[in-house]
Structure 1
Amino acid sequence: MADITLSEVKRLQITLQRLLGSPKLTVNKPARKGMSVEIAVAGEVVGTVHRDEDEGEVSYAIHMTVLEEDLPAE
């Protein structure tokens, strides 16, 4: 798996903000090599981004976690 460049991080952030309608969403490059790129909303990490390159085509998979304690009461 290749590392995500700073240019890709910026472009992903713009695209995800537009697609999800949230200007508070940020894509954060990790401080150290080998760590996950994180997606945050208003500073709270909600998921990770993984880059895949296959036969010259690049794609990004997003894994998002929602804790049950964050769901509204029934």
Structure 2
Amino acid sequence: MSASLSASEITRLQSALRRLLGSPELTVNPAPRAGMSVELAVKGEVIGTVHRDDEDGDVSYAVNMVVLEEDLPRA
């Protein structure tokens, strides 16, 4: 299901996510080790992962973002 992303693909994905999410400080970082997903970060802090799916020849990317409760503003 998930395949590794090429350097070109990471650059293109980063540009698209920066535009879509309105965050020029967002980066898509290569997988830290083979077989792992690429990381999504803002200002160097990893906030999630990006998974590539090329099922049936249609390529799509799924972003899994984590927000810790401790990072939420006080109620």
TM-score (norm 1): 0.94
Q: Identity of paired residues, percent?
A: 64
Q: Distance in 2 between matches of 1:24 and 1:7?
A: 19
RMSD: 0.9
Q: Distance in 2 between matches of 1:10 and 1:66?
A: 24
Describe the SS at the equivalent of 1:55. helix
Map Cα deviations across residues 9-46 of structure 1 (whole Å, 9 max, x no partner): 00010000001111100000123211220000011100
Following TM superposition, where does structure 1 have runs of at least 4 consecutive aligned residues deviating by more than 6 angstroms?
none
Which residue number in structure 2 is paired with residue 10 of structure 1? Answer: 11
Q: Distance in 1 between matches of 2:50 and 2:32?
A: 15
Q: Distance in 2 between matches of 1:72 and 1:63?
A: 21
Q: Where in structure 2 are the equivalents of 1:26-41 lying within 5 Å?
A: 26-41=27-42
Map Cα deviations across residues 37-70 of structure 1 (whole Å, 9 max, x no partner): 0000011100000000111110000000000000
Q: Distance in 1 between matches of 2:66 and 2:33?
A: 22
Q: Distance in 1 between matches of 2:8 and 2:30?
A: 10
* Paired residue total: 74
The structure showing larger relative contact order (alpha-carbon pairs under 8 Å, at least 6 residues apart) is 2
Unaligned runs of 5+ residues in structure 2 are none
TM-score (norm 2): 0.93
Report which of the two has the higher share of strand.
1
